[in-house]
Amino acid sequence: MPIDYERDLNPEQYRVVTAEGGPMLVIAGAGSGKTRTLTYRVARLIDKGTPPERILLATFTNKAAREMLGRVELLSGVDVRRLWGGTFHHIANRVLRRQGYRLGYGRNYSIMDTDDTKSLLNACIADAGIDTKAGRFPKGNVLGEIIGYSVNTVTPLEDVVGLKYPHFNHLLEDIVDIARSYRERKKSLNMMDFDDMLANWLELLRNEPEALREYAEHFLHILVDEYQDTNSLQAAILDLLGSRHRNLMVVGDDHQSIYSFRGANFENILRFPDRYPDAKVFKLETNYRSTPQILDLANRSIVRNHDQFQKELRAVRKGGFKPVYVPVRNVTLQAAFVARRIMDLIMEGIPIKEIAVLYRAHYHSMELQMELTRRGIPFEIRSGIRFFEMAHVKDITSYLRVLVNPLDEAAWKRVLGLYEKVGKVTADRVWKALAAEKDPLAAIRDAAWVKRVGKAAAPGLVRLGETLALLCDKIAEQAPSDLIHLLLNRGYREDLQERYTDSFSREEDLIQLANFSSRFANLTDFLAELSLLTNTTENEDSGAAEAKDQVILSSIHQAKGLEWAVVFIIWCAEGMIPLARALNEAGGEEEERRLFYVATTRAKDQLYLCHPLIDYSRGMGMVPLRPSRFIEELEEDAFHPTELPYEQWIIDED
């Protein structure tokens, strides 16, 4: 049936969905139906005759992409696989698989994850003969962050070290040399790390006129979600892709720009009207999430920021309670208050999974974790190892990566290390011998070659060669899921039993991995998607977690995009939020104020602002704490103050 846009959308959303083409900036406030607006806009474009394959919808998380594309399919009835939809990195991979040859890459390039980057950088450091202990040289993971920030912000490496890592200034020459070696080595091994995917996409569009012409002509409409989180690379890519038809619609909320530490450039959304003087600017200010009282506090909390688009969230809901301000004597009583109030809320019928406690830094939750444990209140901390980063999953996928790209150094070294008498030194030596061979897979399957390269490790390496021979024989006829089961049956099941006490659970993980892989037509597509999932943002990982009957403990950064009936913000004290060290950064205070705003707008029904009045500092004893400046900036009628005697009530009740 035809879509009734006027019925399904509010007037603000309807104006965006039905607008004519050209550059558009949509300032979408928290809880204002941003996803609905984007999906209806795509459906409208299709209704009006735009071929789906000529629409690009860029998101920041796989979860957001699935949700939006699923809604578009329900609305329009169109097979959404025809759209160019997904994360920036997913779309970059799609482009570079076709066009990467222009930059000197083979179609079968490997996508490196964080561990691969660390491993390869450590190899570069070792080969350069740098004494890492003498000069406290940064390890591979730290160096990877430095290089990644440089790439994503389009900032010279020298400036990044000077501004963000000044303690490495005396090592700058070596750092630059290692970065150069790392870049050259990736290219020679037909590998890209996650940052390369965006950098290479941009290089392709800037330096290959035919590629730019093809894609700029192809995309009639480009729609971008969470534009306030884009970095300089992403903004430049979008400008180039939209340069032909100029139908670029970016949606975001400047008030929720909180990821500068990852390289997000706040200027992208703030200066969009300057870059596109003819851009139409829309505002979505109708909030469907929170009570009027919570929105009143949130609106007041952000007004002191100078760099912003002025807007005021308006509540659809009626009634509600004022947010509650709860200063308590110390951190122990803060934890006691939160835990006791959670117990009361559960008794009142609030589902436990609808309660969240937010904080600026992870260590702020320590006392609360202990208190919740003591009281037997189940909780989930939104952190930890992702499924695709677990050791046994990476072991199995490394075998598969070697099959697709026999020059994948990181995968080879991980696989080699699984066999007896193959330590890091032996693995490095065997890898270098393999890399010198025309066909590494053929070499490892030759028992005579193996014995020449690694005499002591030969038995294990021969077993590896036999396994890879079997995989190579089966790769053409069997799906990725069959290859995973083959590896389990070729000895990895026994390896799990020897190495882990929870071997059965880990085997079930691998069976689920095999089930996941069955949706892919071939091994290359499966591994590409796996790498993209492994590199998902911290925010997505928290949002994708299954809803359980547990209180959620989360940093504010991880809570963005989520909502709960009841939210406690703890440690609302000066120096904690805003975090003292963040105030030393350019624009730090305004970003910290946006963080506070994001935290308050996660609450639907009840909001509590808590902090201790004193803290213990080593060497200074008991230190008095002021309320956060973000609380002091609010007029007293913005919240309901809880008097300190309430603490005594907690103690008496306990």
For 208-291, where are the alpha helices, taking DSSP H only? 209-218, 232-241, 267-270, 272-275
Between CA 39 and CA 529 the distance in angstroms is 23
Clarify whether 478 is annotated catalytic. Answer: no
Are 356 and 559 in contact by the 8 Å Cβ rule? The answer is yes
Task: Name the maximum alpha-carbon separation found in the chain.
Answer: 82
Q: Which residues contact 223 (CB under 8 A, 6 or more apart)?
A: 38, 41, 42, 55, 56, 57, 58, 249, 250, 251
Cα atoms found within 13 Å of the Cα of residue 617, Cβ hemisphere only: 9
Between CA 160 and CA 150 the distance in angstroms is 6
User: Which residue matches tokens 């703030």?
Assistant: 270
Q: Kindly list the distances between the CA atom of residue 319 and the CA atoms of 97, 286, 489, in Å, as whole numbers in the listed order.
A: 54, 16, 61
Between CA 471 and CA 450 the distance in angstroms is 18
Catalytic residue among 12, 13, 34, 117: 34
Catalytic residue among 8, 15, 35, 239: 35
Pairing of β 603-612 and β 324-328: parallel
Shortest CA distance to 121 belongs to which of 146, 107, 137, 140?
140
Structure token pair of residue 395: 């072991």
Between CA 440 and CA 407 the distance in angstroms is 8
Are 357 and 602 in contact by the 8 Å Cβ rule? The answer is no
Question: Which 3 state secondary structure label does DSSP give 59?
Answer: strand
User: Which residue matches tokens 């430049």?
Assistant: 236
Are 338 and 568 in contact by the 8 Å Cβ rule? The answer is yes
Clarify whether 421 is annotated catalytic. Answer: no
Clarify whether 256 is annotated catalytic. Answer: yes
Between CA 602 and CA 358 the distance in angstroms is 10
Q: Which amino acid is at 25?
A: L
First CA to last CA distance, the chain: 60
Q: Which residues pair with 566 in a beta bridge?
A: 355, 606
Structure token pair of residue 392: 């046994």
Are 321 and 640 in contact by the 8 Å Cβ rule? The answer is yes
Clarify whether 636 is annotated catalytic. Answer: no
Catalytic residue among 113, 225, 367, 541: 225
User: Phi first, then psi: what are they for 286, rounded to 5°?
Assistant: -85, 115
Question: Which 3 state secondary structure label does DSSP give 603?
Answer: strand
Are 607 and 273 in contact by the 8 Å Cβ rule? The answer is no
- Give the helix/strand (H/E) hosting 24: strand 24-28
Between CA 199 and CA 207 the distance in angstroms is 12
Clarify whether 183 is annotated catalytic. Answer: no
User: Phi first, then psi: what are they for 242, rounded to 5°?
Assistant: -90, 5
Cis bond before residue 578 (omega within 30° of 0): yes
Between CA 467 and CA 490 the distance in angstroms is 7
Q: Which residues pair with 25 in a beta bridge?
A: 250, 281
Are 143 and 150 in contact by the 8 Å Cβ rule? The answer is no
Between CA 395 and CA 516 the distance in angstroms is 16
Catalytic residue among 36, 289, 413, 602: 602
Pairing of β 603-612 and β 564-569: parallel
Shortest CA distance to 404 belongs to which of 251, 227, 525?
525
In this structure, what DSSP letter does residue 19 have? -
Clarify whether 225 is annotated catalytic. Answer: yes
Catalytic residue among 115, 226, 367, 590: 226
Shortest CA distance to 593 belongs to which of 303, 248, 349, 368?
303
Catalytic residue among 256, 537, 600, 606: 256
Show which residues are catalytic.
34-35, 225-226, 256, 602
